[in-house]
Amino acid sequence: MRRLLFAPILGSLLAGAWAAGAFAQNPLAEKLSRAPIGTPILVTPGQEFYAQVDADPVPAYRLARTFKSSMPGAMGLPFGFAIDTDVLILVFKSASGWDYFVPPDHKFRAFHALLGSVIRGRDMVGLRVGPAGQMEWFVDNSVYARAPTLWTRPIRPADPAINRIDVGVITRGSMDRLVYLGLSGPRHAKIRLEKTAGRQVQRTEFTFPLNKDGKGLGAVNGAEFTIEVTPTQALITVVRAMTSALGDVYPSPPKPILKPVPPI
């Protein structure tokens, strides 16, 4: 059964690299909408106000709360780490049977009182789950350390509760997007539908009548929206998506580099 998921507009459509043995892209990927349905969006000519993208359902964990803690580092000296969101997405399955879950949008930190941040670039913080179901927090700061480096500590009773869920993750599939093009004469708004499949882009333009106050209604490919136009911008509210269910959509984080230190 297909379902549509709604979330705020995301900055990137790239899903990141999936390791061998992780989850391959699903040819029957879900269609997810990346626009806040029912929320006005202020755009200028050339800006997107709605998009429907391909996404795959991916295993994830939800934390009861964000949190900050510490774990042993070099020579057993502790350093701090924090997860600043409540969702962690599967990005890697190791040959030894560990599954690695990472917050999207780089919503994590690792730091030392004297050194400051101890992660750089593709370094990451998250949760890993072993073949027997054991859970550990991990910090992969391989870029910072200039060598594959993974620190871990087990889940403690005082840590937030963790629940298994599924979320939608954006893939490199097709996309339908609506772009505001400005006024066409004094009483019409121009909208462009862009349908992307691989490197092929098909563009179709539509115009919608406006009343004397610059307000009107529009519908393209199943999406319905209200529009209020001035000479330089438009306030557009999508009131109906191209298809019909609710949920969340996330960008996929890149895979970790991963080499445990000290050996586990």
98-129 pLDDT per residue, tens: 999 999 888 999 998 888 899 888 899 999 99
In Å, how far from its chain's centre is CA 250? 2
Candidate ranges 14-23, 89-98, 208-217, 249-258; pick with highest mean pLDDT = 208-217
Q: Is the per-residue pLDDT at 12 higher than 60?
A: no
What integer pLDDT is reported at residue 95 of this predicted model?
A: 85
pLDDT digits (tens, 9 = 90+) for 208-249: 999 999 999 999 988 999 999 988 999 999 998 886 544 566
> Which residues are 169's β-sheet partners?
56, 250
Model-level pTM greater than 0.85?
A: no
What integer pLDDT is reported at residue 32 of this predicted model?
A: 59
pLDDT digits (tens, 9 = 90+) for 123-143: 999 999 999 999 999 999 889
When mean pLDDT is compared across 88-97, 156-165, 203-212, the lowest value belongs to 88-97
Q: Is the per-residue pLDDT at 55 higher than 90?
A: no
The answer to whether 169 touches 251, Cβ cutoff 8 Å, is yes
When mean pLDDT is compared across 24-28, 89-93, 111-115, the lowest value belongs to 24-28
What integer pLDDT is reported at residue 145 of this predicted model?
A: 86
Q: Is the per-residue pLDDT at 23 higher than 70?
A: no
Q: Please, what is the average pLDDT of the chain?
A: 81
Q: Is the per-residue pLDDT at 61 higher than 60?
A: yes
Q: Is 117 helix (H, G, I), strand (E, B) or coil?
A: strand
How open is the CA angle 143-153-120, to the nearest 5 degrees? 15
CA distance 93 to 205: 44
What integer pLDDT is reported at residue 247 of this predicted model?
A: 52
What integer pLDDT is reported at residue 166 of this predicted model?
A: 85
What integer pLDDT is reported at residue 258 of this predicted model?
A: 66
Would you call the peptide bond into 8 cis, given omega within 30 degrees of 0 as the criterion?
Answer: no
